[in-house]
Structure 1
């Protein structure tokens, strides 16, 4: 016969709002064990004061501690050691919050990009007469790879994946659309020096050789649909605009892929912005 101050599994389950399955699991991993098991019936019994241990377990779970971590806390009677475990958990949570904030920022930029694509698809279908404009661009941070090689669909696809692997290995969040900087031979890039990159958050604090800065300044800009061949007419019109309006080029032209092959099966449906850095003569 059990003592009067002992609780059955059903009773402690009701008091603590825990299922018998959870209590069996806690028993199995030596986190919270009954004080007595009847050898004849197999029934398990708990002391009333053990309710406080369950309350502590539930409280620690609610602030992010794993069962293994809780087990370590319950094994230690030193307040200082428990305090240190709490400090460690707080540091882990702070890092996770920062990671989630970066993810939220990345999602906001993607939503903005998709809205831009949707707007342009609905309102601009014909670029037979390219609209050239002058834009002031802020400083932009990019993750990039610069190589001298042939420029074609396969080489671009490979470079995109290389950028992604570089971001993954360095825990960098890619934020904006992909871009290509043509350091030479924009019109005939069979074997040319070009730089594949992707925009990063300005809050990105990491710096190494593959993180570059596109300086702020004035850029002559236009949009076009299609592959690189389709960009040549637009590019030539931009150069004419620059000359006619008394500007001069001060850097390499940039192609910003607003709608890339990630969102279409045909390169005819690519939506690309060409940007050329300039200054007034």
Structure 2
């Protein structure tokens, strides 16, 4: 601590090391504050360059910490050095702007959280299906879900269909974020069984509200025949044959559409033996 003898003496002055210790910040941080013009030392010794701070200047450090905690960047806090009122005079614009920024960040984090949660759910679903070899056929009811989609030619190349660069580029152009598995929708259950489908709808669940002109399709609100295909998707038509035979045996009428939920696919691994796809065919019970 350094004492001055001047009549206008603002009180004792503290070295940069003392300030760092008292305020629980590093010397590097204090020098960075100085570099930004955010916290300037009150006295710099000409002989050795030592920096000294008054208590009043030192008391600015908790204020800086608090505004930083609220989300303000250090560059945004330069105003705190230029006025005794800190952000008081400009608080309406500054705080409203910061609130808008934080709302956007909150939305981004919420979207990321939802996408990661969906991905984790897919991994767990795939592991359960694989470890238990769940390939039996069931009847499931699915609530309605809305998906964004793009219709394309299906060239029997599942890697291109699932990774799908044109689809990714289209979503980016529409500023549309998605989550969950890629769903391939085919018109014609019999066609897919015989592996003849030429058109496919690439579908995924949008994150938040859909904006722009991107088309949407609602699926669900009905019963589906459901079965997992485990392994190489080039053999998927065999599972469709089993599902159609099961439907006939149990008196279910299949609709003219099928959906493939790609749970473990090229997005996760290049090992085709680890792939898990849930096959879904809308169906209803008919009288025997």
Q: TM-score range by the shorter chain?
A: 0.7 to 0.9
Match of 1:271 in 2: 276
Question: Are 1:27 and 2:34 an aligned pair?
Answer: yes
**After the TM superposition, which residues 1-281 of structure 1 pair with which residues of structure 2 at under 5 Å, given as runs?**
3=4, 5=11, 6-76=13-83, 77=85, 79-124=88-133, 131-157=136-162, 159=164, 161-184=165-188, 185-189=191-195, 192-200=198-206, 204-207=208-211, 208-281=213-286
- Offset of residue 172 of structure 1: 4.1
Q: Which deviations, in whole Å up to 9, do the C-alpha atoms of 1:110-162 show, x marking residues without a partner?
A: 2222222222222117x5xxx32211111122232211242224532552x33
The DSSP-based 3-state class of the residue aligned with 1:60 is helix
Relative to structure 1, is the Cα distance of residues 133 and 147 closer, same or farther in structure 2, using a 3 angstrom cutoff?
A: same
Quick one: distance in 2 between partners of 1:235 and 1:264? 24
- Offset of residue 189 of structure 1: 4.8
Q: Which deviations, in whole Å up to 9, do the C-alpha atoms of 1:79-131 show, x marking residues without a partner?
A: 24124312322332233223222222322222222222222222117x5xxx3
- Offset of residue 219 of structure 1: 0.9
Query: Which runs of 5 or more structure 1 residues have no equivalent in the other structure?
Result: none
Quick one: distance in 2 between partners of 1:224 and 1:62? 50
Q: Which deviations, in whole Å up to 9, do the C-alpha atoms of 1:158-191 show, x marking residues without a partner?
A: 52x3333444455544322222111253145567
| TM-score, length of structure 2 as denominator length | 0.82
Contact 2:233 2:272 in 1 (8 A): no
Quick one: distance in 2 between partners of 1:157 and 1:280? 32
Relative to structure 1, is the Cα distance of residues 157 and 234 closer, same or farther in structure 2, using a 3 angstrom cutoff?
A: closer
Quick one: distance in 1 between partners of 2:256 and 2:111? 31
Quick one: distance in 1 between partners of 2:274 and 2:163? 20
The DSSP-based 3-state class of the residue aligned with 1:79 is coil
Contact 1:143 1:197 in 2 (8 A): yes
Q: Which deviations, in whole Å up to 9, do the C-alpha atoms of 1:183-222 show, x marking residues without a partner?
A: 2531455671111222345xx2124324432242111122
Q: Which deviations, in whole Å up to 9, do the C-alpha atoms of 1:215-246 show, x marking residues without a partner?
A: 42111122222344422232123223334444
Quick one: distance in 1 between partners of 2:177 and 2:150? 16
The DSSP-based 3-state class of the residue aligned with 2:156 is coil
- Offset of residue 70 of structure 1: 0.8
Contact 2:15 2:52 in 1 (8 A): yes
C-alpha RMSD of matched pairs (Å): 2.8
Relative to structure 1, is the Cα distance of residues 157 and 50 closer, same or farther in structure 2, using a 3 angstrom cutoff?
A: same
